[in-house]
Amino acid sequence: MIRIGSVLVSEGKGGVYGEKMLKGYRVWDPYRSKFAALAKIYDGIDLESERDVLYLGAANGTTVSHFADYVRTVYAVEFAPRPMQDLIEVSDRRKNIVPIMADATRPVEYAAFVSSVDMIYQDVAQPNQAEIAISNLPFLKKGGTLVLMLKTRSVDVCESPESVFENSKTILESSGLEIEFSCWLKPYHKDHVCIVCRRV
Reported CATH class of domain 30-199: alpha beta
Q: Is 123 annotated as a binding residue?
A: yes
Segment among 15-19, 28-32, 150-154 with least mean pLDDT: 150-154
Q: Is 170 annotated as a binding residue?
A: no
Say whether pLDDT at 61 is over 70: yes
pLDDT at 158: 66
Three-class HEC string of the chain: CEEECCEEEECCCCCCCCCCEECCEEECCCCCCHHHHHHHHCCCCCCCCCCEEEEECCCCCHHHHHHHHHCCEEEEEECCHHHHHHHHHHHHHCCCEEEEECCCCCHHHCHHHCCCEEEEEECCCCCCHHHHHHHCHHHEEEEEEEEEEEEHHHHCCCCCHHHHHHHHHHHHHHCCEEEEEEEECCCCCCCEEEEEEEEC
Report if pTM > 0.85: yes
Q: Is 133 annotated as a binding residue?
A: no
Q: Is 86 annotated as a binding residue?
A: no
Q: Is 79 annotated as a binding residue?
A: yes
Q: Please report, for the chain, the start and end positions of each structural domain, with discontinuous segments joined by +.
A: 30-199
pLDDT tens, residue by residue, 158-185: 678 788 888 899 999 999 999 999 999 9
